[in-house]
Every structure is written in C-alpha cells, then in structure tokens.
Amino acid sequence: MKPSPLISLHGGHSGEFCRHAKDRLEEIIQTYIKKGFKAVGITEHMPPVSDLFLYPDEIEQGLTARDLYRQFARYIREVNRLKSVYKSDIRIYTGFETETCSGYIPHVKRLIHEFKPDYIVGSVHHVDDICFDYSREEYDKAVQHCGSHEDLYLRYFDLQYDMIKALKPFVIGHFDLIRIHDEIYKQRLLFPSIQEKILRNLFLIKKLGLVMDYNLRPLSRGEKEPYLTPALLRTIKELGIPVVPGDDSHGKEQVGSHVARTIQTLETLGFDTHWPDPGDIPLN
Ligand SMILES: [Zn+2]
Ligand SMILES: [Zn+2]
C-alpha cells in the first residue's frame, strides 16, 4: 500500500513573521520539501485587534498593532510568492491562525476579505482576554478569573463554540489547548459539564464539515500527548470528523516533527488519510 502523503495544516511559523519563532519562511518551506511533504498550510498568527492585545515581547520591542498589521501583509505576500516558486515541489496553502480577544470577529472577517487566505485555523488562546497559554502564571490568573479550573474549561469551550459559529474556520486548532497547564486534565475533560460542551462543539464542527488539527507541538516539547488527547480522538473518530496533522512548527528544526509516525497512528485507528482539501470549504 502506498504511504499516505505527509501533510501539516497548522504550522510554519517563522522568525521572519513571528517573534517567538525562528528562521526565514523560505528556509522553512525548503525544509518541508526536503522532508518529503506534499502539502503544507502556513498559518502565521494574525495581527492583534488593537494595541491592547500586544504580547509582552512585542511591547518590549516597541511594536504597535499597526506595525504587526503591515508585517502580516508582507507575510501573506511572501507565502503567495513561495507558493508559486515551489509549486512543482509542494502544495502550499496560505493561511493564518486566529485569536479570540475582544473585537476579533469583525477583525478576522476584515483580514479574510482583504488577504483572501486559502483557509484559517480557528484557535482560542485567550479567555476573557487573558492569554492562558502564555505562561503558568497567566494560566493561574485565568483560573482565578473564572473561579475554578472547571469554570475555566467551560468558558474556553463556550468561546470556542462562538468562534466556530462566527468564523467557520476550515481547521480547528489544538481543540483541547485549555489543558496546557493542568496536571489532571484527563479526568477534568471527562467531567459531565465539560463533556457536554465538548460534544456540543464537536457536533457543530461535524455539521459544518470542518477539520480537526492533530497538533503535535506538545511532542516537540517532550510531552506525551498531542492536542486531541486519546479519549477525544476516539470520540472524534466515532463522529467521523476528519483529523489532519499539524506540526505547529516554530522554526525549521521543528518542521515535520512526528508527522510520519502520527499518520501511522491515525491509519491504525482507522482514520481516513485521504486528506480533505481546503478548497472544498468556502471562506465566509
Ligand atoms: Zn506561535
Ligand atoms: Zn495556537
């Protein structure tokens, strides 16, 4: 049997366009080609809605939302250029990854309208404007803000639901990211109140024909499980929602990490590895 083609639909962050990544985007693309990838979605972080939502490292460097918007415009131009330069070697999709800070819905819609990406990755990194995945400290702040870990999870999955409904992103980024700094996430994800929200979100994803990011970044950090912990993966399989690897690479060293092995796992579990085509879903 022919092996399934190597793919990543979430990743390719580069030092050229993201302060917490490394290397030039062109080197990153060349690395994907060298590693035998047939298709890759480049999904840089979107520029912030306003200066209120700059990350600490951006503030330190004196950047404004306006600067990041201009940088984003350069990013889109560069992906589109590389797409045609390397078109005989690899299929490149132009994408970006969302944030869900206050005011994000019209902002993301404007970006889609202006830059016409092939698709977007719908991710939630903030709960009520607190960036819970930035550090342990910020995570604890978010727990306090919501009242408890359980309430934080519930809030996260509600925000995710609203985001999916409003934006219909072709790829749902790291669905269970909210577990990032929680040691007992496996139990917590099974709480009935949380399960109810998870299932509600998965039914919506299924209904809209969207795709789940099997996010391998935790493996690159030395953790055991990708985002989509095995219990979730089983539910998603039962619902028949497509799952596609995303290396979430932030530099050429991480390009394609763990993807081949992960595709084998998906095959063993009975997932379809005829990857869905982002062109099949119209952007709103
Ligand atoms: Zn990043
Ligand atoms: Zn992300």
Residue 155 lies in a domain: no
Question: What does the alpha-carbon distance between residue 83 and residue 225 come to, in Å, rounded to a whole number?
Answer: 32
- What residues pack around ion ligand 2 (CB closer than 5 A)? 123
How many structural domains comprise the chain?
Answer: 1
With residue 130 as reference, give the H or E element that holds it. Answer: strand 130-131
CA of 124 to the centre of ligand 1 (A): 12
Under the banding of pLDDT at 50, 70 and 90, the label for residue 277 is confident
Tell me whether residue 73 is in a domain.
Answer: yes
210 C-alpha to center of ligand 1: Å? 22
94 falls within a domain: yes
Distance 195 CA to ligand 2 centre (A): 22
Domain interval for residue 268: 7-125+167-180+209-280
Within-domain flag for 160: no
Quick check: 159 and 99 in contact, CB under 8 A?
no
How do residues 245-254 score in pLDDT, each as one tens digit?
999 999 999 9
Q: How far is the CA of 28 from the centre of ligand 1 (A)?
A: 15
| Lowest mean pLDDT, pick from 92-101, 143-152, 230-239, 269-278 | 269-278
Determine the distance separating the centroid of ligand 2 and the alpha carbon of 174, expressed in angstroms: 7
β-pairing, 7-8 with 171-172?
Answer: unpaired
Instruction: Give the pLDDT confidence score for residue 284 in this predicted structure.
Output: 47
For the beta carbon of residue 159, count every other beta carbon within 10 angstroms. 17
The CA 238 to ligand 2 mean position distance, Å, reads: 25
Q: Is residue 109 a part of any domain in this protein?
A: yes
Q: What is the DSSP letter of 172?
A: E
Radius of gyration of the chain (CA): 18
Per-residue tokens: 78: 């560069």
91 domain-assigned: yes
- The average confidence (pLDDT) of the chain is 95
Give me the residues paired with residue 246 across strands: 215
Ligand approaching nearest to the C-alpha of 123: 2
Q: Each residue of 15-71: pLDDT tens digit?
A: 999 999 999 999 999 999 999 999 999 999 999 999 999 988 899 999 999 999 999
Please tell me the distance from the alpha carbon of residue 242 to that of residue 212, in angstroms, as a whole number.
6
Confidence category of residue 278, pLDDT binned at 50, 70, 90: confident
Model confidence at 281, pLDDT cuts 50, 70, 90, reads low
Amino acid, res. 207: K
- Residue 139 Cα to ligand 1 midpoint, Å, equals 17
pLDDT of residue 140: 98
Residue 163 binned pLDDT confidence (cut-offs 50, 70, 90): very high
> Is residue 266 in some structural domain?
yes
Ligand index nearest the alpha carbon of residue 246: 2
Q: Give the residue among 37, 4, 3 at the shortest CA–CA distance from 12.
A: 37
Going from the Cα of 2 to the center of ligand 2, the distance in angstroms, rounded, reads 32
Residue entry with tokens 């503030």 = 59
Structure tokens at 47: 């520029």
pLDDT, mean of residues 84-96: 97
Report whether pLDDT(127) > 50: yes
259 touches 247 (CB < 8 A): yes
Instruction: Give the pair of three-digit tokens for residue 108.
Output: 């993301």
In the reported structure, the alpha carbon of residue 18 is separated from the centroid of ligand 1 by a whole-number distance in angstroms of 7
What is the token pair recorded at 125?
């990194």
What is the distance between the alpha carbons of residues 257 and 260, in angstroms, rounded to a whole number?
A: 8
In this structure, is residue 89 part of a structural domain?
A: yes
CATH of the domain at 86: 3.20.20.140
Per-residue confidence (pLDDT) for residue 130, from 0 to 100:
96
CA of 172 to the centre of ligand 2 (A): 10
The percentage of residues in the chain with a pLDDT greater than 90, rounded to a whole number, is: 93
Q: How far is the CA of 22 from the centre of ligand 1 (A)?
A: 10
Tokens linked to 234: 């089983």
Whole-number Å distance, alpha carbon 219 to ligand 2 midpoint, is 14
